[in-house]
Structure 1
Amino acid sequence: MNGKKILFVSSELVPYLPENEVSLMSYETPRMVNSNGGQIRIFMPRYGNINERRHQLHEVIRLSGMNLVINDMDMPLIIKVASIPKERIQVYFIDNEEYFKRKATFTDADGNLFEDNDQRAIFFAKGVVETVKKLNWSPDIIHVHGWMASLLPLYLKKYYADEPLFGESKIVTSVYGQGFEGELDKDMIHKIAFDGVSEDSIEALKTPNYNNLLKVAVDYSDAVILAAEEIPEELQSHISNLEKPVLSYVPLQGFEEAYAKFYTTEVLK
């Protein structure tokens, strides 16, 4: 991994959010790359339940201040950063008061999905790309973790298709068993189509549930990692029909060698 540049884009990350299979692997994978001489950048949403004081988040003025258009609305982009002290790893947080100030991640106090989760996912995808453009940092690999980040492959291959900074970047999506119940907003497909993405290319999102979101993510990725022991059968079947590299599930104890080998021999070949 020496000298390779890898962009990690995740829905969740420890130590900023509670540990689960997504947040843990979103931490362990960049830590592994970092310790093996790779260059990394990590992005996640700045949810309102992240303690900014404890984790010492601060705004980066030179990266903030842009407006992103989401479904014909101008939404201000705020970028904050923090460091994971013992690893010397810096994390970039995508923030917007409308989307991320609430004191929860994906659901309200009653466990209902937030009605604007689809817009939050679009904002997150665009916010990551626009910030990396400002950093002028061209990644060799872009590794996506978690469903809130799952629109990134689509936006890179469609909306940002002519962006030279990502011209050589390979996209890897990790697929987890942990998703969400129910569906996102029914108009999600139209909100993405507003950005010039044809509805035919995202037909699965007519039913915007977890499986279909991940189907779109893997369809627009260059490689796939099965990051959980149990993947929904429908999703597993879809992935098995893809003609692209797929890494089968590897437990945490042995993932480092398997992931590093997959990056170098399958993704970057």
Structure 2
Amino acid sequence: MNHQKILYISQEINPYLPSTPMSLFGRNLPQDIQSHGYEVRTFMPKYGSINERRNQLHEVIRLSGMNISIDDNDHPLIIKVATLQPTRMQVYFIDNDDYFEGPGTKVLETESSPEDNDERSMFFVRGVIETVRKLRWDPTVIHCTGWITALAPLYIRHLYQDDPGLSRSLVVYSLRPESFEGKLDARFAEKLKMAGFTDECLQSLGGGDFDWMTLNKLGIDHSDAIVVTTPDIPAGLVEYARQSGKPVLEYPGPDGEEATTAAYHDFYQSILSQKENDSKSSD
């Protein structure tokens, strides 16, 4: 049995959201990896369209309550949790009234209020990290999927570089084809600097074209490894990942879930072994 801990930070997870390639990926991979003996926890945004009663979500009071500051404004962090049956996999939800609407919403907030996507992503990522720290659950691998998670490698590698648990984690970033139209807020880089990041950290943001491609490049820059999840990722983005010199898991192919899970399992073990060898070499 494998007792390594894998944290999945996902943009969408089925059945909490309708079946889409992304939401099915967000459910199936963690469940299948868990069946290989890994200890797994998953996080996603608490979109307003998620029916809390039907999905049996409940607030975790001991984890909620802290404020996350973005652009000099404090936003209360609310943590909810559900158990995905029959695997009993725990799914945590990051909630806040400023970025996620109440019941009755049908369109995801990332689409209905795209002007807030920069801060929504910042809040979500920071909320996940702070919750994991409160849980005192140190993941071996942190696997991020979806553009809303693209800031996670940046936060983990720089704002939390001295955290004794997170500093040892390997961060994997998945390239997905789902995108957003237009650009993020023009003050995106400024808000990140207010959060504590330097110009050097944000170098790949360039001169202010904060679009989907740029956000993904930021995720690649600060992760330890990259996964190409589908065959329809823009060629320029895949090439950017390859040129980074980091381990890249190429698209495993349409060979069924079992073969795909095996590819991810082998990839995790490969990058963990490489890290262990690098540590021995530096001793």
Q: Percent identity?
A: 43
On the 8 A contact 1:245/1:267 being kept in 2, the answer is: no
Partner residue, 1:219: 221
Question: How far is 1:31 from its partner?
Answer: 0.7
Instruction: Report whether the alignment pairs 1:16 with 2:53.
Output: no
On the 8 A contact 2:8/2:30 being kept in 1, the answer is: yes
Instruction: Report whether the alignment pairs 1:260 with 2:265.
Output: yes
Equivalent residues in 2 for 1:158-177, closer than 5 Å: 158-177=158-177
Question: How far is 1:121 from its partner?
Answer: 0.3
On the 8 A contact 2:174/2:226 being kept in 1, the answer is: yes
Letter in 1 for 2:55: H
Partners in 1 of 2:234 and 2:18 — Cα distance? 23
Q: Paired residue for 1:231, among 223, 230, 233?
A: 233
- The gaps in structure 2 that reach 5 residues or longer are 275-283
Partner residue, 1:48: 48
Partners in 1 of 2:175 and 2:268 — Cα distance? 16
TM-score normalised by structure 1 residue count: 0.95
Q: Paired residue for 2:111, among 83, 107, 114?
A: 107
Partners in 1 of 2:169 and 2:238 — Cα distance? 25
Question: How far is 1:165 from its partner?
Answer: 1.6
Partner residue, 2:68: 68
Cα 1:11/1:268, change in 2 over 3 Å? farther
CA RMSD of aligned residues (A): 1.3
Q: How many residues align?
A: 265
Partner residue, 2:81: 81
* Stretch deviating more after TM superposition (82-91 or 16-25): 16-25
Partners in 2 of 1:207 and 1:142 — Cα distance? 27
On the 8 A contact 1:94/1:124 being kept in 2, the answer is: yes
Deviations 1:39-94 (A, max 9, x none): 01100010001111110110000000111111111100000001111221110000
On the 8 A contact 1:9/1:145 being kept in 2, the answer is: yes
Partners in 1 of 2:19 and 2:251 — Cα distance? 19
Partner residue, 1:157: 157
Question: How far is 1:203 from its partner?
Answer: 3.3
Partners in 2 of 1:259 and 1:243 — Cα distance? 19
Question: How far is 1:26 from its partner?
Answer: 1.3
Partner residue, 2:90: 90
- The gaps in structure 1 that reach 5 residues or longer are none
Could you list the structure 1 runs, at least 4 aligned residues long, displaced by more than 3 angstroms after superposition. Answer: none
